Amino acid sequence: MIDVSHPFFDTNLSWLSYNYRLLLEAEDESVPATERLRHLAGYSYQIDEFFRSRIPLLNAMRGVSKDILDKLNLYPDTLLEHILETVENQLTKFDEILSSGVVPALLEGDLHLYFKEPFREEHRDFVSSFFVEKVFRHVQPVFLEGRRSAKITFFEPDALYFVLRLLRRGEPGEPWFAYVNIPVGEVGRFVKLPKLDGQKHVAFLDDIVLANMKMLFPGYEVQDCFALRVERESELAVDDEFPAAVTQRITRQLEKKNYVLPHQYFCEMGMPAEMKAYLSDRLGIQVAEFYERGKYLYYQDFKAFPSTGKKLEYTHQKAVPHAELRAGESIFDVLNRSDQLLHLPYHSIDPVVRFFNEAAVDPYVREIYVSLYKIHAHSFLVNSLISAARNGKRVVAFAELNPKFDIHENIHWARKMKDAGVKIIFSLPGLKVHAKIALIKRKVKKGWDRYAYLGTGGFYRMTSREFVDHALLTSHREITNELELLFGYLVTRDVPSKFKYLPFNYLMVSQFNMNKKIIELIDREVKNSRSGLKAAVTVKINQLQDQSMIAKLYQAGQAGVEIQIIVSDCCCLIPELPTISDNITVTRLVDRYAENSRIFYFYNRGKEEIFLSSGDWTFRNLHHRIDVGFPILDDYLRSQLLQVLRNYLADNQKSVKLDTYQNNHPIVSDSQKVRAQEANYRLTERVEHRTPRLFNL
């Protein structure tokens, strides 16, 4: 039953609802087989992230006083029981989809994926040779016995291992335990084998290592062999979840109880209790800290499954050259005429690369400011900024280290930039710059020209062509002035609470005016509705979790405002609750590309307003990060985004409707089939002239 006195869906269960939507896409037989593997990879990544960030927090909350839990309407014991049951059911479905659905579908496409089966005689010589030539140098077989290894065994986070129980040939007695790494980083997770009778073959690296285990442990018989992986240590992000006063009380209570985050070890399904008990004793962890997974671990590696032919993959979509940002004309001259909008990944990212490359060599550019949210050393942006600094320009980068990359890689790109003269300002607690923004200052006769990049997604994702985002390039004086004001503030590294006022009239900046601005825009629709006028709000977002925002949407819906929510991930708003959210619909879209754009639409008595944003409506994004929302002021660009939203709302192929309990219901429609991502790609192709009729798709 839904508690109408607290009408907010639980974040954890909503996350699992999204995970299940990924499974539905992987189950869809109309999706090409290797694309179904990539959706399984997405599910694997999400469930690992869930266990890394949500399970430790819920376990910690079991030690918090009842009055706090009652205030938060959080009952961790019951919730954990429900979660673990849901996850177990999903993992069972995952294994069924993979083994009974996708693997046979690959075979129908003339690709045989070895899946827990012995290698064919014709492949054994290749497997042996491949192991000797490519793998052997990277493996490290180690005995776990204290007499053979004096130091405590340490499993590297996010690496794959086999744990073995061995018997010495000719010496019956107690078993020996050992482990060996599976060198995925050095070799790759999947290996293409020679074709047989015109059929392609692919094997897990795990199975190639397993098939050659006798070479690693000569003189021993392998009794048991199971994969193991330890999760990277996480932090309890309590302050990202709850208000400051509640966070302080929770933190104090946990400190008094000397709460320590438990480890998380993931093991292959069926690992014997004897092996778990041995590892528990040897590593000093609890048996309860082992979580069983499927027949293989770390299925998110399916994301890098080798290309195997057109009939097993989506038809390639060529990136569309931007109509007005073509090579040959200065990008600054184009922006002096009008704003430009990129729809990614449908548009080519070439204009973004040119934007920074041109700034790096333009003799009139004096200063460049940019936020780098999770970047890597090989990014085009790192190279452009280094060039700019070496060309004598002042370059200031606000950096957020990427915890998913090795610490050495983070240090590498940071050192390269610093050595070139780039000033790097790293994020602080409470001052994490999540905004995707850049500002270029160009000295001209009349003073300064300013050019801005504002996006919904990070630079590090652009080259992958896997995420849907939008990016605005503009020289709009007020927007660029406000962006310079924001960068000037960020240089101070002071927390936003010390600043009572910064004059943002065009930009919405979290921790400054974003909450206030969004609420004002919703209240305006409420006022219009109560005056008998049409009123509507459409929110396209990744995550909708902040309870104050949800309460405001409930209020607007009750006042007659038509509210449509398009989410790709979590949604804590409960639709279709009588008298509370009758006027609110929620759809979730999962398709070929991962949806990452945030679009906010307000009807405004027919003078429609659209904002793009880098941040979701979560407590973390609204109160603990610096995110930036920005208006689309150009009528032509706004008309493009209106059509983008119409396509999302009309989608009856890849969208599902969420009910009160977050079940994913297919949208049944007798109207023409609409697939939003396909329609938005065609829209991008047609944007060659400023002719709105071209948007009638």
For 612-667, the pLDDT digits (tens) are 999 999 999 999 899 999 999 999 999 999 999 999 999 999 999 999 999 999 99
Q: Which two tokens stand for residue 20?
A: 């299940």
Give the CA distances from residue 501 to residues 296, 496, 513, 542, 625, in Å, rounded to whole numbers and listed in that order.
Answer: 54, 9, 9, 29, 17
Residues 320 and 347: their CA atoms lie apart, in Å, by 5
Residues 202 and 115: their CA atoms lie apart, in Å, by 9
Residue-by-residue DSSP string for 138-191: G---EE-STTT--SPP-PPBT-EEEEEEEEETT--SS-EEEEEEE-HHHH-SEE
User: Would you say residue 149 has pLDDT above 50?
Assistant: no
Q: What is the pLDDT averaged over residues 342-367? A: 95
DSSP code at position 318: P
The whole model's pTM is what? 0.92
User: Would you say residue 405 has pLDDT above 60?
Assistant: no
Q: How confident is the model at residue 150, as a pLDDT?
A: 47
Of the candidates 575, 642, 557, the residue with the CA atom closest to the CA atom of residue 607: 642
Residues 228 and 230: their CA atoms lie apart, in Å, by 7
Q: What is the pLDDT averaged over residues 345-372? A: 95
Q: How confident is the model at residue 691 (pLDDT cuts 50, 70, 90)?
A: low
Q: What are phi and psi of 667, to 5 degrees?
A: -90, 115
Residues 357 and 383 sit within 8 Å (Cβ to Cβ): no
Residues 489 and 504: their CA atoms lie apart, in Å, by 12
User: Would you say residue 406 has pLDDT above 60?
Assistant: no
Chain Cα centroid distance, residue 271: 31
Long-range contacts of range 18-23, CB-CB < 8 Å, 24 or more positions apart?
Answer: 18/46, 18/568, 18/569, 18/570, 18/588, 19/43, 19/46, 19/47, 19/50, 19/90, 20/90, 20/664, 21/588, 21/590, 21/656, 21/664, 22/46, 22/590, 23/90, 23/93, 23/94, 23/97
Q: What is the pLDDT averaged over residues 325-331? A: 85
Of the candidates 114, 144, 141, 164, the residue with the CA atom closest to the CA atom of residue 268: 164
For 256-269, the pLDDT digits (tens) are 877 777 778 999 99
Long-range contacts of range 250-256, CB-CB < 8 Å, 24 or more positions apart?
Answer: 250/61, 250/64, 250/68, 253/63, 253/64, 253/65, 253/68, 254/60, 254/63, 254/64
Q: How confident is the model at residue 378, as a pLDDT?
A: 66
Q: How confident is the model at residue 170 (pLDDT cuts 50, 70, 90)?
A: confident
Give the CA distances from residue 313 to residues 23, 113, 305, in Å, rounded to whole numbers and listed in that order.
Answer: 18, 15, 11
Q: How confident is the model at residue 697, as a pLDDT?
A: 41
Residue-by-residue DSSP string for 603-637: -GGG--EEEEES--BSHHHHHSEE-EEEE---HHH
Give the CA distances from residue 43 to residues 13, 169, 187, in Å, rounded to whole numbers and listed in that order.
Answer: 15, 42, 24
Q: How confident is the model at residue 499, as a pLDDT?
A: 66
The strand ranges marked E within 309-445 are: 340-344, 365-373, 394-400, 423-426, 432-433, 436-444
Q: How confident is the model at residue 148 (pLDDT cuts 50, 70, 90)?
A: very low
Residues 472 and 632: their CA atoms lie apart, in Å, by 8
Q: How confident is the model at residue 196, as a pLDDT?
A: 93
